[in-house]
């Protein structure tokens, strides 16, 4: 779990930058980025229901177990640790903002803010997967069960669901757990097939409950995460791991195409291209508004001072046992470069729309379209 927290904090600094940057189809003009309410294929949801992992979790993990409730998580937003595996906002927050919605309340806190239920609910738990992983929190099937229970209890009616969008995130925790439990590289392709098959079942189930549109994330290049790049001083991605990612994404594309073909709405299911988003950050040269120049793009922005520690670790005296580095923000609006602490989420507003609009054109990781 400690290593996982390092990876989670790293990806929070990194993955959303182009997720929004793949969005050049429907609202590609920069003037459109200031609209308060956007949609997918003309659909403008009034509620957002979220299922998945740390890329989407906004506070479901327990404070006694998750490091997302410790500094430096949350230092950019909301200013203190609040359960997000990020220094600031996560994908849920930016998707909601793009759509002109308020970020849905975490499922664990639903009874304490019933007035927020009208915006939807976030069922995502950091560290979880499609199947059980290395954490005890509910997997995706159980998260969907929570949603079904609320529908059964009439917390949400049919018209609520017909005006809603579901976000489903899969960050690769299943594969980390598979290998940690002794799974072999030879058996990995078969396991990937199982994961995507079950993911497709989950997507179909969410849609069958009445949710009008379902957006699922493609898998990011896992071979470019610190767990892999630490072995070469954060200089090079692991190509072998990324081949497995390509296989996952190919199967996902096929599954989504099949679901759309079987649906009355041929665009009921969309893929958010995290794979292309990550790669755009790695190759970024400061060519678009709000872009970031990374001196060492594969290096985590927060990590323990040794293998014994992780992001957020302190010793018995409360002294920090982790380091964070500063990135260079290239502000094209004022044409100056400045040092900044880890506040990348502040500029995600410029690129989140790109990834969403990218869901309305073929994913960049394969040649065929959905």
Among candidate residues 36, 202, 39, 50, the one with its CA nearest the CA of residue 120: 50
The upper half-sphere exposure of residue 8, i.e. CA atoms within 13 Å in the direction of its Cβ, equals 35
pLDDT < 50 positions in the chain:
1-35, 285-286, 288-290, 327-354, 357-358, 360-370
Whole-number pLDDT of residue 292:
53
37 vs 99: CA distance, rounded Å: 5
Q: How far apart are CA 39 and CA 121, in angstroms?
A: 19
Dist CA 168 CA 216 (whole Å): 5
**The predicted structure's pLDDT at residue 212:** 96
Instruction: Give the Cα separation of 40 and 156 in Å (integer).
Output: 22
- Domain chopping of the chain, boundaries: 16-279+348-358
pLDDT at 21: 37
The string of pLDDT tens digits covering residues 272-325 is 888 887 787 777 644 544 455 566 778 887 888 888 888 888 999 999 998 876
Q: Fold for domain 16-279+348-358?
A: Rossmann fold (3.40.50)
Reduced 3-state DSSP string for the chain: CHHHHHHHHHHHHHCHHHHCCCCCCCCCCHHHHHCCCCCECCECCCEEEEECCCCCCECCCCCCCCHHHCCCCCCCCCCCCCCECCCCCCHHHHHHHHCCCCCCEEHHHHHHCHHHHHHCEECCCCCCCCCCCCCCCCCHHHHHHHHHHHHHCCCCCHHHHHCEEEEECCCCHHHHHHHHCCCCCCCHHHHHHHHHHHHHHHHHHHHHCCCCEEEEECCCCHHHCHHHHHHHCCCCCCHHHHHHHHHHHHHHHHHHHHHHHHCCCCCCEEEECHHHHHHHHHHCCCCCCCCEECCCCCCCCEEECCCCCCCCCECCCCCECEEECCEEEEECCCCEEEEECCCHHHHHHHCHHHHHHHCCCCCCCCCCCC
* 150, two tokens: 């609320």
């Amino acid at each position: 779990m400690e290593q996982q927290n390092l990876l989670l904090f790293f990806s929070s600094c990194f993955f959303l930058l182009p997720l929004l940057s793949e969005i050049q189809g429907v609202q590609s003009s920069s003037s459109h980025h200031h609209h308060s309410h956007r949609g997918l294929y003309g659909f403008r949801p009034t509620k957002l229901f979220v299922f998945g992992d740390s890329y989407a979790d906004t506070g479901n993990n327990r404070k006694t177990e998750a490091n997302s409730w410790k500094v430096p998580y949350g230092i950019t937003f909301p200013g203190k640790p609040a359960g997000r595996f990020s220094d600031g906002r996560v994908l849920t927050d930016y998707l909601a903002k793009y759509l002109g919605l308020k970020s849905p309340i975490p499922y664990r806190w639903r009874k304490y803010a019933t007035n927020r239920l009208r915006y939807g609910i976030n069922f995502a738990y950091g560290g979880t997967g499609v199947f059980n992983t290395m954490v005890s929190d509910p997997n995706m099937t159980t998260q969907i069960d929570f949603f079904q229970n609320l529908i059964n209890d009439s917390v949400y009616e049919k018209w609520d669901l017909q005006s809603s969008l579901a976000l489903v995130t899969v960050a690769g925790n299943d594969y980390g757990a598979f290998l940690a439990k002794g799974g072999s590289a030879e058996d990995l392709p078969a396991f990937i097939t199982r994961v995507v098959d079950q993911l497709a079942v989950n997507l179909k189930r969410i849609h069958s409950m009445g949710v009008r549109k379902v957006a699922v994330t493609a898998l990011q290049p896992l071979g470019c995460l610190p767990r892999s790049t630490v072995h070469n001083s954060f200089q090079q991605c692991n190509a072998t791991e990324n081949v497995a990612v390509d296989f996952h994404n190919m199967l996902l594309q096929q599954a989504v195409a099949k679901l759309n073909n079987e649906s009355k709405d041929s665009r009921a299911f969309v893929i958010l291209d995290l794979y292309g988003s990550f790669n755009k950050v790695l190759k970024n040269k400061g060519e678009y508004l709000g872009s970031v120049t990374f001196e060492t793009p594969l290096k985590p922005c927060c990590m323990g001072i040794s293998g014994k520690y992780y992001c957020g670790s302190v010793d018995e005296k409360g002294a920090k046992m982790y380091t964070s580095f500063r990135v260079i923000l290239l502000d094209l609006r004022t044409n100056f470069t400045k040092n900044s602490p880890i506040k990348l989420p502040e500029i995600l507003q410029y690129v989140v729309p790109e990834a969403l609009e990218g869901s309305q054109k073929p994913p960049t990781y394969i040649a065929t379209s959905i």
